Structure 1
């Protein structure tokens, strides 16, 4: 395992808690970040009882000062951060057209899903770049590459995050830092349970596939796929990593316009 310390946002429940628990089992010291001390403390206690090093950090990811303070505390107590998992997120409150959505809640979704990772990344990247090592996993979604009008805020935020990852991945890789957008697919969580489109769903993806992907990132096995969209539920990530030279020569798994034909000036 190349990773000694990790920061997981939205760590109090759902996928975030499962990521923290899995990393702890792998021997990683974990900083748990969330908005409530009361919800984080049971997670920290459970990890500590298993012999893991863990610290609970209270911060709203949309507050850059609070995030920066949390990162400083994490590194003071656990050491330099090797891995960040940007998991904290919100979903549209209702399946309605964009023009009918509550404007304030719409922006809350975008702020949490996009500004949150931006704040976290800006807090951790100077140290990672200075040390010449580090990895960031952004929790992505199929909605990032296939728009769903019922969830316009979530789709917009995840697409924007995918573009950000693509934009910064190249310069960071030159400095030993790798960034990944990984979708777990639809897995059963409190968030998906509240989505009307999944009311009768039974064929959920196995969350362990995403947890295995995070471990693969932590071990450095997927560095060659930095900056590309990955789907833990569908992809054989090791096989995809083996095709990295082929992918590097193309725009595969990156956001781009599809040309209408060979004479398209945008081609």
Structure 2
């Protein structure tokens, strides 16, 4: 893989959607920085990618996107590695620990969720934008959620954090359009990741029902009646970063089986 190949950074790269996204960009010939909070996990994933894709140029990064110091350090590593960044794919995110009314939601939990889900994308954009080319080849893609489009009682921290991502996408798109940098989002619904499976197991245990009953209850609310596999989200991220989406900016693409129809 040549140094002239486009450089991509994927946060949350060792999670379900992040892994698929990183692999997709490597498969298509990009140089990819894979970032997540655990050194052992990112190093192991980097080796997997190098083993699967001969000649892959992969940079493992330990990154806490809620931390200015961590993001600044990552910027310097990416600068030394490639000098520029063609695509910033912000995939990392956290769920709210439990569904509770605002009056019972700890302020610390609200702040934790927002620190990763909203403050994180803001910090990443702020510090990585100077590395993104202004020749029309640069883009930012942020993962939001369909819960950022509609309010769900008991989940104030998560819903407002993801609504903020959708708004941030539009703000950045407006600010960067004249510089030739496109900014878009993806709003997944239920995606069949380990995180989703754990959520179903935990909720089933709390309600005293089987995992299958809980899964069917959740998935019955999806018009397509199943949770999408992680690759359908990575497909959307790759599309929005590609030349095929060259006239798309400020959009958040619903990839959620039809749970939100506008």
Given that residues 22 and 211 in structure 1 are in contact (C-alpha distance below 8 angstroms), is that contact kept between their aligned partners in structure 2? yes
Aligned length: 235
- Aligned partners of 1:227, 1:234: CA distance in 2, in Å? 21
Given that residues 128 and 177 in structure 1 are in contact (C-alpha distance below 8 angstroms), is that contact kept between their aligned partners in structure 2? yes
Given that residues 16 and 230 in structure 2 are in contact (C-alpha distance below 8 angstroms), is that contact kept between their aligned partners in structure 1? no
Cα shift at 1:173: 1.4
Given that residues 3 and 82 in structure 1 are in contact (C-alpha distance below 8 angstroms), is that contact kept between their aligned partners in structure 2? no
Cα shift at 1:170: 1.9
Cα shift at 1:161: 1.4
1:45-90 deviations in whole A, cap 9, x for unaligned?
Answer: 0111122110111121111121021122123113411001111111
State the SS of the aligned residue for 2:140.
Answer: strand
Give the CA RMSD over aligned residues. Answer: 2.2
Matches within 5 A, 1:1-267: 4-49=6-51, 50-51=53-54, 52-128=56-132, 133-195=137-199, 196=203, 199-201=214-216, 202=219, 203-234=226-257
Given that residues 140 and 181 in structure 1 are in contact (C-alpha distance below 8 angstroms), is that contact kept between their aligned partners in structure 2? yes
Scaled by the length of structure 1, what TM-score is found? Answer: 0.81
State the SS of the aligned residue for 2:71.
Answer: helix
Cα shift at 1:234: 4.8
Give 1:249's aligned residue. none
- Aligned partners of 2:240, 2:75: CA distance in 1, in Å? 20
Given that residues 140 and 241 in structure 2 are in contact (C-alpha distance below 8 angstroms), is that contact kept between their aligned partners in structure 1? no
Cα shift at 1:3: 6.8
Cα shift at 1:224: 2.3
Q: Measured at CA, do residues 234 and 177 of structure 1 come closer, stay the same or move farther in structure 2, by a change above 3 Å?
A: farther
Give 1:244's aligned residue. none
- Aligned partners of 1:8, 1:113: CA distance in 2, in Å? 15
State the SS of the aligned residue for 1:191.
Answer: helix
- Aligned partners of 2:5, 2:155: CA distance in 1, in Å? 35
Given that residues 188 and 233 in structure 2 are in contact (C-alpha distance below 8 angstroms), is that contact kept between their aligned partners in structure 1? yes
Gaps of 5+ in 1: 236-252, 254-267
Given that residues 182 and 229 in structure 1 are in contact (C-alpha distance below 8 angstroms), is that contact kept between their aligned partners in structure 2? yes
Scaled by the length of structure 2, what TM-score is found? Answer: 0.82
Q: Measured at CA, do residues 194 and 101 of structure 1 come closer, stay the same or move farther in structure 2, by a change above 3 Å?
A: farther
